[in-house]
């Protein structure tokens, strides 16, 4: 009897000790997880299945809002152009018409309803970040402009009062089939360049169109496998301003083509593939009434 009482006492002490050890281990694991989340929130969110834009957006929102607001503005609202989410968008709508978290292309179709602004800035594109590849069958990191004729569907253009291409970094920058009233190319550096400015007839024009001109398709930053901006098939896209600034790209050229513009500014871009001056990495062939070619220099630029 005495032996049984001693056994029960020892068992009770053992169980109490093991419970305390399990509690300490559990708390230790929770603290390690918390410190890991604080130390590397981006990696944690990516591991949870969020794409790069949603992960970045959730982190940035968390720095300025409480937990409830963060959830509302990042997860419950769904992907959007203004948040920098990839997807297939059709202006003037901010929500994508198709979204697949496995497809990291930012694809904007500009409908024939005129809008006020298309702006993409400070994005990393193509193979410029680890783990990224161009979409299958694609060779360009950035494609902006109209579409070639296809069967009975005529060639299309983007028509804009103002186009800005500024502070970009491309392995190759190609501007062709652009008709502008005023074309300014200034202070660009490239590993070989070919700039051809032809006499044009484009008049200075404006975009009109009522209430939708207040609409803006603006995305501030993001990581994308590719950026594509073009009109709907067979239609002319009309935008007051188009701005592409601070785009860091790799893996393929940046191409701007089939654009009709009142004013085009191409300023302070750096272009090069590290293949020498004989192979041209800045290729410009445009028509303009007022043409300004100012201090564009060939320098050695590698990827």
**Taking Cα atoms as reference points, which of 67, 71, 43, 72 lies closest to residue 56?**
43
Q: Which of 27-31, 54-58, 108-112 has the highest mean pLDDT?
A: 108-112
Can you give the pLDDT at residue 14? 73
Q: Which of 143-152, 204-213, 285-294 has the highest mean pLDDT?
A: 285-294
Could you say which DSSP state residue 153 is in?
B
d(CA 114, CA 116): 7
Strand order, beta sheet including 297-298: 222-224, 123-126, 248-250, 169-170, 270-271, 189-190, 297-298
Using the predicted structure, report yes or no on whether residue 69 has a pLDDT greater than 90: no
CB 174 within 8 A of CB 279: no
Using the predicted structure, report yes or no on whether residue 34 has a pLDDT greater than 60: no
- Average pLDDT of 263-281? 91
Using the predicted structure, report yes or no on whether residue 263 has a pLDDT greater than 90: yes
Q: Which residue has the tokens 């800045």?
A: 282
- Average pLDDT of 106-116? 94
**Alpha-carbon separation of residue 243 from 30, 38, 117, 285 (angstroms):** 46, 35, 8, 20
**What rounded mean pLDDT belongs to the chain?**
84
Can you give the pLDDT at residue 65? 39
Residues 143-201 have pLDDT tens digits of: 999 999 988 999 999 999 999 999 999 999 999 999 999 999 999 999 999 999 999 99
- Average pLDDT of 50-69? 50
Strand partners for 173: 254, 282
Question: Which range has the worst mean pLDDT, 38-42, 227-231, 286-290?
Answer: 38-42
Residue 78's pLDDT band (cuts 50, 70, 90): confident
**Residues of 60-87 as b/e, b for ≥16 C-beta within 10 angstroms?**
bbeeeeeeeebeebbeeeebbbebbbbb
């Amino acid at each position: 009897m005495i032996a049984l009482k001693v056994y029960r006492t020892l068992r009770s002490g053992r169980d109490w000790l093991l419970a305390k050890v399990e509690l300490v281990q559990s708390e230790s694991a929770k603290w390690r997880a918390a410190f890991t989340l604080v130390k590397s929130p981006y990696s944690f969110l990516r591991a949870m299945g969020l794409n790069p834009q949603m992960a970045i957006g959730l982190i940035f929102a968390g720095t300025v809002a409480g937990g409830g607001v963060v959830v509302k503005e990042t997860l419950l609202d769904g992907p959007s152009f203004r948040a920098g989410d990839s997807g297939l968008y059709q202006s003037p709508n901010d929500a994508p018409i198709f979204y697949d978290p496995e497809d990291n292309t930012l694809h904007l179709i500009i409908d024939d309803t005129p809008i006020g602004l298309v702006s993409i800035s400070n994005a990393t594109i193509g193979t410029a970040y680890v783990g990224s590849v161009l979409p299958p069958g694609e060779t360009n990191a950035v494609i902006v402009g109209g579409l070639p004729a296809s069967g009975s569907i005529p060639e299309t253009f983007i028509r804009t009062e103002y186009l800005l291409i500024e502070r970009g970094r491309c392995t190759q920058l190609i501007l062709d089939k652009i008709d502008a009233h005023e074309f300014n190319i200034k202070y660009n550096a490239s590993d070989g360049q070919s700039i051809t400015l032809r006499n044009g007839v484009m008049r200075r024009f404006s975009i009109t169109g009522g209430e939708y001109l207040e609409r803006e398709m603006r995305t501030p930053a993001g990581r994308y496998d590719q950026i594509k901006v073009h009109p709907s098939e067979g239609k002319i896209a009309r935008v007051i301003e188009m701005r592409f600034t601070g785009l860091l790209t790799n893996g393929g050229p940046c191409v701007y083509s089939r654009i009709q513009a009142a004013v085009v500014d191409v300023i302070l871009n750096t272009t090069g593939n590290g293949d020498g001056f004989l192979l041209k990495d800045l290729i410009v062939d445009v028509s303009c009434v007022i043409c300004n070619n100012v201090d564009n220099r060939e320098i050695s630029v590698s990827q």
